[in-house]
Amino acid sequence: MLATRNFKPELFLGEGGFGKVFKGWICQDERSPSRPGDRMPIAVKTLNREGKQGHKEWVAEINHLGALQHPNLVKLIGYCIEDQHRMLVYEYMPRGSLENHLFKRRATTLTWDVRIKIMLGAAKGLAFLHEKAIKPLIYRDFKTSNVLLDSEYNAKLSDFGLAKDAPIGDKTHVTTQVIGTQGYAAPEYIMTGHLNFKSDVYSFGVVLLEMLTGRKAIDKRRPQKEQKLVEWAKPHLKNRGGIYHLIDPNIKDQYSTRCAYKAMKIVAHCIYGDPKLRPLMSDVVKELQIIFDYNNDRSSSPLPTPPSSFKGFHDGSSSSNSSRYGRGDGGSKYGPKVDLSSSTSSTKNTPSQFKNSPLYFTPPFPSPNPKYSGNA
């Protein structure tokens, strides 16, 4: 209570299914309550006994985060249980949630480079949970509000109360009560209750799509046909030149056309209807790393060839456009103009990247790794 000044309203950070979160301070060495200023800031999550998540999820959070350490997972510092009170203490993430940066009014627009950096970090966190953790985990609730940002916009996954241990032995999935957030949960999980790594991959694809478009996964304020982001985006992912309908207009002058195109292909593969054909998160990391590295050196040579383990990401494009920058609907010296007045734009005005688009022609995928595929 002392660390948060008795939960003063001005220290309130936010609220989720678990309960309210407050800012506080502790002595870094002694881990005891302290006053602000020269001490370590923390985030204190309080359990709401009437909330959507209860004691079971509180214990799960401790068990999971207490056993996991990774740069892209939020650090659990400690916990407190006293009478009916339950609290968790985390490292403080000064830039808050990704959700606030994307959708909060008057929020500063995230640049293209920062968006890719954030998603690369989040992908590394998921890849660790799936493939590197001592006891692999299915995160189950990947969404923008659960991606927190430090002062340098490094992404860290938070809220592990709904995470599930991955299937073991010959099992390809775990069957569980359908719990998640509308718009992010994989369709096969909603229909069957079967949960596996590829369920997380789908959710990641939705969040990446939110990042690229600036739209919410579910937005009731939009016209009916545009309220569900994935359903609205799918036709554009398949059409030549559709990328220009998708990219957030707030960043239209910032991206390399080839990088934006590659990012949209990652989305398309992650939200595949058949979970067996979705990529591993480690492969997604490799692809996002290519984009991130290219962002840091835009005068570089053409984008490298994707790893052989992810042949579904073949560009089918020439290197001559590798340094051009997309400018939405308008053509300039930075990029070709594409006629968007018709869904059947002429080949003449279509950038070479789209002429053999693997989004337009369904690409083959590598055989799933039996260890991580999580086949449904």
For 16-32, give the DSSP string. -SS-EEEEEEE-TTT--
Amino acid identity, position 185: A
Instruction: For the chain, list the domains and their CATH numbers.
Output: 9-91 (3.30.200.20), 98-355 (1.10.510.10)
Whether 49 shows a pLDDT value over 80: the answer reads no
Q: Residue 225: exposed, middle, or buried by beta-carbon count in 10 A (0-12, 13-18, 19+)?
A: exposed
For residue range 103-129, what is the model confidence (pLDDT) as tens digits?
998 889 999 999 999 999 999 999 999
Q: Residues annotated as binding site for ATP?
A: 45
Taking the mean position of all CA atoms in its chain, how far away is CA 176? 23
For residue range 217-227, what is the model confidence (pLDDT) as tens digits?
999 999 999 99
Rounded to whole angstroms, what are the CA distances from 310 to 92, 186, 212, 285, 368?
36, 21, 21, 11, 10
> 257-270 vs 112-127: helix axis angle to the nearest 10?
30
Q: Residues annotated as binding site?
A: 45
CA distance 94 to 111: 18
Confidence of residue 41 (pLDDT cuts 50, 70, 90): confident
CB 44 within 8 A of CB 78: no
pLDDT averaged over every residue in the chain: 77
Q: Give the strand pairing for 20-26 and 40-46.
A: antiparallel
Element (H, E) at 245: helix 243-246
DSSP state of 131: I
- The pLDDT score that the predictor gives to residue 361 is 36
Confidence of residue 81 (pLDDT cuts 50, 70, 90): confident
DSSP three-state, residue 145:
helix
CA distance 163 to 88: 16
- The pLDDT score that the predictor gives to residue 252 is 84
Maximum Cα interatomic distance, the chain, rounded to a whole number of Å? 72
Task: Give the catalytic positions in this structure.
Answer: 141
Q: For residue 138, which of 205, 194, 219 has the smallest C-alpha distance?
A: 194
Going 277 to 278 to 284 to 288, the CA torsion angle's sign is: positive
Confidence of residue 376 (pLDDT cuts 50, 70, 90): very low
